[in-house]
Structure 1
Amino acid sequence: MDIKQIAGSRNDFQLVRHLTVTGSQFEIGRALAEEARRLGWAPVPGDPVVNRARMAWFERHWPQHHARMDGAAAVLGLDPNQDDLVLDGQYGLPVDSGCSALWCPPSASSDGHGRIGRNYDFFTSTTGEVMGGAATPGELPMAARPHVITTLPDEGLASTVITMMDLDGCMDGINEAGLSVALLMADVATAEPPQDSTAQVGLGQLHLPRFLMDTCENAEQAKQALLGAKQYDHGLPCHYLVADASGRAFVWERGSDGREHIVDLGDGPLCVTNHLLHRHPDPMNLPEDTELTFDTFRRLRTLHERSKGVTMSPDDLRESMRAVQVDADPAKPWRTTWSSVFDTADRTLSTRFYLGDGPDGPRYTEEVVLSAAR
């Protein structure tokens, strides 16, 4: 595994490392588990009955992840069939976040490239502070050490992803076929985290984007994969923007009643923030924001107004994402911790990472351009 520091420093809010991992899925899983263990990860106890069912589900529906978990077991010197420990889900799921994303299809792009603009907004606090307590000595903010991970398997789809915490999950990414996925909190005003946060059978939030990038090449395959996949909430509910190189895109949501929804606007821009689109389908008829909504409705209206009926250049897309970026307000303990543009034609992601607040507002790195192409 090759590890490079690509952005920030220990004197900045974020220090970002890029991990490039090659080999079989087993070897990739072993390398990522070794790095996770170096960072402090250890497996947690699990219900043997549930774990056996989890492994059977992965083997049938997501064999890439199953093989990587076997690699993690090898790092720990465990029998891969041992079923009393959970070998994935390294670190925890963020408890809250507010994000914005805008899909600009090829038909609305100045150069014919489909692109996703994406802001990942998150707290600048430590885990202890987010949970209502105090930071422990030496504890870093939850978003202080993101990783970019490029996996180049001997067999299967290569991908490049960004993760805030879990090395075997991610918040967003793109694969070598051009399929891009971004995770956003789904219902910021009313959602409550589940009482049971243990791993269940199927896909938790941070695994779902990786699952799609490992197993799908386009949006139609992704729809079928999601409709056939068992899913659960390991934290607050999320929804997902999925787009492909052909120009197709949709948002995947699950309602509080357990029903699944595909929001597909066809050949047009698609804006996503932190409310369920199937509940609020008309961007011109949204509620007003409250203290609990993280400006989700204002952000979506802004993105809709900037993208409706226009041709967008890459710079136009970037300016639109800056228009909904979190300001450096001391009263707001969250920032846009990274802002990315995913180019589904070039199979690249270009990202600015948050370094801290300056006299003129938030400070960011220059764009770091990474590729999922071999």
Structure 2
Amino acid sequence: MAILKNEPIYPFKDGNYTKPVHIIVQGSYEEIGYDLAKLGKETYGCKLGIYDDPIYGQARKTYMENNWPEMAQKSKGVRKAFGLSDDDVVYDDTALPYDWYDAVKSGTAADLTTCSAAVLPKEKSEGGGVFVSRNYDMMAMVMWSEVFGKKAPEGSFRFAERYIVLETRPDKGYKSIRIGGNEALNPYVDGINEKGLYVTVFHDPNSIGAEGTPCSGMKLNGLALTQLPALLLDTCATVEEAKQKILQNSLMQTMMRVHLLIADESGNATVFELSDTGDYRFTDRAANNPLFVTNHALYKYPEPGTYPEFDINAEHNTYARQLILRDAYAGLKPPFKVTDATAMTDAVHCSFTDTKKAESGPLERTLSNATSDLKNKTISVRWYLGDVKPIPGTNHMEDRMSEFFTFGF
């Protein structure tokens, strides 16, 4: 068995929303793929996507062998766990999705706002530390059923309710920690590797690509953009290496349009985006300055003076959050500490009573907050447990979060 640990991170109680488990898996990439596929199938009900035509499966198999050999080996283990022949090209063996319901194969517009993040400047941080914090904001609902106004299937699980902290220790290759859910092979959405490279994902509704679609199979070629963090964590140590790797790959959007924040222990940080014409764009952190990420294209709207018209009172609007983050940063005093990064994302914590007024999604909550210290190669996470009561005089809902749990190398 490659799985060394599979345990709840804290005791699960009735009424608590998020129930995360810590999984440690070790061995060859093929063994890792095999055991995660067995676990995914038996515990999470994972099913493999099906390609629209075997030509896509054959092309992707060749693509992985040439561009992501680590995934090619993991896929071999996945095929074995699902009882498929090694030359199968019907099923997508690069992903183990779970807890997705009523996806629309033709795609649709996903009216979501979602997440925020801040990278503090290393030049002004205590001991030259590199501190990053992000909120994982999403509707506390069954995805996609309830988001699309459908009745959720009986026995379904809400989004990210079954959270995973997946620690992989390959015999050859970088160790990594991936934090998220809804995918057992490469959980969405945060990750850090033993070299101090950090990658995370945010919704970018104005990018190109389908939304609300299945996570795998179909007409996928190259990489789904949501798989890119796993590739980078498997193969890269720095932001510059990650940029080179990105530019060498073919990327397409499924499930959700996204952009990525990438940072490393040297203090370099960038946001990678697909433009509306499909070209690849990078927006780098400037020296001595922070970098903030919400849900619009930074290559288009990098500074407040470039923002389109928006409602300043809509607290969860992507541009409003940028201003809130800037105001919170202005109130900090260097040298910055890792707790200052958490304070930044706490300023844009998502929990509102009138979601339309805030321009957040219905029942949208900060389902987790992850704060990373890249110099020390740690990531600390706390999870959403449930609502308490409205906060008088505000549009905010008081909610319950777990304590922080720290993972690292």
> CA distance change for structure 1 residues 8 and 287 in 2, over 3 Å: closer, same or farther?
farther
Structural mapping, 1:238-317, within 5 Å:
238-267=258-287, 268-289=289-310, 294-307=316-329, 311=334, 312-317=336-341
Shift of 1:132: 1.5
Q: Specify the SS of the correspondent of 1:239.
A: strand
Alignment coverage as a number of residue pairs: 371
Match of 2:9 among 6, 30, 55: 6
Q: Does the 8 Å CA contact 1:328/1:362 hold for their aligned counterparts?
A: no
Shift of 1:219: 0.5
RMSD: 2.3
1:220 lines up with 2:229 in the alignment: no
Q: Does the 8 Å CA contact 1:43/1:86 hold for their aligned counterparts?
A: yes
- What do the CA deviations read for 1:304-341 (whole angstroms, capped 9, x no partner)? 23335952222222111111001242644110000011
The equivalent of 1:43 in structure 2 is: 48
Higher deviation after alignment, 323-332 or 111-120: 323-332
Mapped to 2, the partners of 1:194 and 1:125 lie a distance apart of 17
Q: Specify the SS of the correspondent of 1:32.
A: helix
Mapped to 2, the partners of 1:289 and 1:228 lie a distance apart of 37
Match of 2:35 among 9, 16, 31: 31
In structure 1, list runs of 5 or more residues that go unmatched: none
Q: Does the 8 Å CA contact 2:178/2:189 hold for their aligned counterparts?
A: yes
Match of 1:88 among 85, 94, 113: 94
Match of 2:161 among 136, 144, 158: 144
Q: Specify the SS of the correspondent of 2:372.
A: strand
1:73 lines up with 2:73 in the alignment: no
The equivalent of 1:205 in structure 2 is: 225
Match of 2:179 among 152, 155, 162: 162
Mapped to 1, the partners of 2:402 and 2:354 lie a distance apart of 21
Q: Specify the SS of the correspondent of 1:162.
A: strand
**Aligned amino acid, residue 72 of structure 1:** V
> CA distance change for structure 1 residues 41 and 219 in 2, over 3 Å: closer, same or farther?
same
**Aligned amino acid, residue 274 of structure 1:** N
Shift of 1:118: 0.4
- What do the CA deviations read for 1:66-122 (whole angstroms, capped 9, x no partner)? 100000111122222111111232226795451001111321212321011100000
Mapped to 2, the partners of 1:322 and 1:37 lie a distance apart of 36
Q: Does the 8 Å CA contact 1:123/1:143 hold for their aligned counterparts?
A: no
Shift of 1:269: 1.1
Q: Specify the SS of the correspondent of 1:40.
A: coil
Q: Specify the SS of the correspondent of 1:150.
A: strand
Higher deviation after alignment, 76-85 or 190-199: 190-199
Mapped to 1, the partners of 2:239 and 2:34 lie a distance apart of 30
Mapped to 1, the partners of 2:314 and 2:30 lie a distance apart of 43
Q: State the TM-score, normalized to the length of structure 2.
A: 0.85
Q: Does the 8 Å CA contact 1:251/1:263 hold for their aligned counterparts?
A: yes
Higher deviation after alignment, 275-284 or 156-165: 275-284
Mapped to 1, the partners of 2:210 and 2:82 lie a distance apart of 31
Q: Specify the SS of the correspondent of 2:246.
A: helix
The equivalent of 2:19 in structure 1 is: 15
Q: Does the 8 Å CA contact 1:8/1:16 hold for their aligned counterparts?
A: no
The equivalent of 2:129 in structure 1 is: 113
Q: Specify the SS of the correspondent of 1:129.
A: coil
**Aligned amino acid, residue 283 of structure 1:** P
1:329 lines up with 2:353 in the alignment: yes
> CA distance change for structure 1 residues 23 and 237 in 2, over 3 Å: closer, same or farther?
same
- What do the CA deviations read for 1:212-242 (whole angstroms, capped 9, x no partner)? 0001000100010011110000123110110
Q: Does the 8 Å CA contact 1:117/1:342 hold for their aligned counterparts?
A: yes
Shift of 1:139: 2.0
Q: Does the 8 Å CA contact 2:197/2:374 hold for their aligned counterparts?
A: yes
Mapped to 2, the partners of 1:148 and 1:196 lie a distance apart of 25
Q: Specify the SS of the correspondent of 1:130.
A: coil
The equivalent of 1:352 in structure 2 is: 382
- What do the CA deviations read for 1:38-64 (whole angstroms, capped 9, x no partner)? 111122321211111111111111111
> CA distance change for structure 1 residues 195 and 105 in 2, over 3 Å: closer, same or farther?
closer
Mapped to 1, the partners of 2:126 and 2:193 lie a distance apart of 23
1:319 lines up with 2:337 in the alignment: no
Q: Does the 8 Å CA contact 2:46/2:97 hold for their aligned counterparts?
A: yes
Mapped to 2, the partners of 1:259 and 1:304 lie a distance apart of 29
Mapped to 2, the partners of 1:114 and 1:8 lie a distance apart of 32
**Aligned amino acid, residue 149 of structure 2:** G
Q: Does the 8 Å CA contact 1:288/1:297 hold for their aligned counterparts?
A: no
Q: Does the 8 Å CA contact 1:168/1:207 hold for their aligned counterparts?
A: no
Q: Does the 8 Å CA contact 2:20/2:163 hold for their aligned counterparts?
A: yes
Q: State the TM-score, normalized to the length of structure 1.
A: 0.93
Shift of 1:130: 1.3
Higher deviation after alignment, 205-214 or 310-319: 310-319
**Aligned amino acid, residue 18 of structure 1:** H
